[in-house]
Chain A
Amino acid sequence: MVYLTRKAEFSASHYYHNPEFTPDENKRIFGKCNNPNGHGHNYALEVTVKGEVDQRSGFVVDLKQLKEIMNREVLDALDHRFLNKEVPEFSRQIPTTENIAIAIWHRLEPKLRTAKLHRVRVYETPDLFVDFYGEA
């Protein structure tokens, strides 16, 4: 088994707000992130896939294909977007780094054919990141 990691970057804005909370609760729990006008980050994404090395190609995964899938399924949807307003998952869920990692997993996982998705890591800043390994 070999693990392969591909990085990407996207920039997006978001804010944290739960309509079931009172304005006071939203402020207390989410602090500055509750500003309804949003704020932004340069997110860094690391996608790790795993698999056996194909005898003929020497690849775990065709990187061109992985890059295309990441571009199509993730970056086209998230890059330079206001996540709360423009990404369907976040009309129901708060776009925390946790939920962004989970959403990216669910966007990528069914599209990968040869290698299996092992981990999605999303950096909100260089000092804060979330790892998601799937639901198991």
Chain B
Amino acid sequence: MKAHLSRRYLFSASHRLHNDAMSAEENRATYGKCNNPHGHGHNYVLEVTVSGPVDERTGMVCNLVDLDQFVEREVLERFDHQNLNTLPGFAGTVPTTENLCEQIYDILQRGFGYAHLEKVRLEETLMNSFEYAGGVELRK
């Protein structure tokens, strides 16, 4: 029987929203306060949802230890307490939470083999959250 398992993680990072292809004025108009050259930070909440048949022997979709270790090693260590603009993944990409959400999805999609990745949800603040399911519609 298929179930969905979701796990939440916390990390903190800074970023500045700025696109070199835009004029200074256009950057300010597009990104507002987020264009501040010194950057600013957020406590991001990452919610990873995986799915799969519940293993009859373990009662689990996947072992939480495997998921936690993978996210810790491949996601949190990469992004926690970093300035996102300085990371290779954002060399030519504005580190919006949309783009960060897609990058985290891709990391999990490529590397986590113990269950099917359903979606990644990323809260930038209590008021803003973003979800990405590999380009497909979300389940109701």
Contact = CB atoms under 8 A, between A and B. Distances in A.
Interface of A: 3, 16, 18, 20-21, 29-31, 93-99, 101-102, 118, 126-133, 135
A98 B64 contact: no
Given A99-B54, A101-B3, A128 B8 contact: yes
Given A96-B60, A102-B54, A132 B5 contact: no
Interface in B100-140: 139-140
A128 B6 contact: yes
* Number of chain B interface residues as a range: 20 to 34
B84 to A, nearest CB: 23
Given A96-B54, A97-B5, A133-B4, 12 more contacts: A18-B58, A93-B59, A96-B60, A98-B3, A98-B59, A98-B61, A101-B3, A102-B1, A127-B7, A131-B3, A132-B4, A135-B2
Contacts, number: 61
Contacts of B54: 96, 98-99, 102
Contact of B59 (A31, A94, A135): A94
A21 B5 CA distance: 24
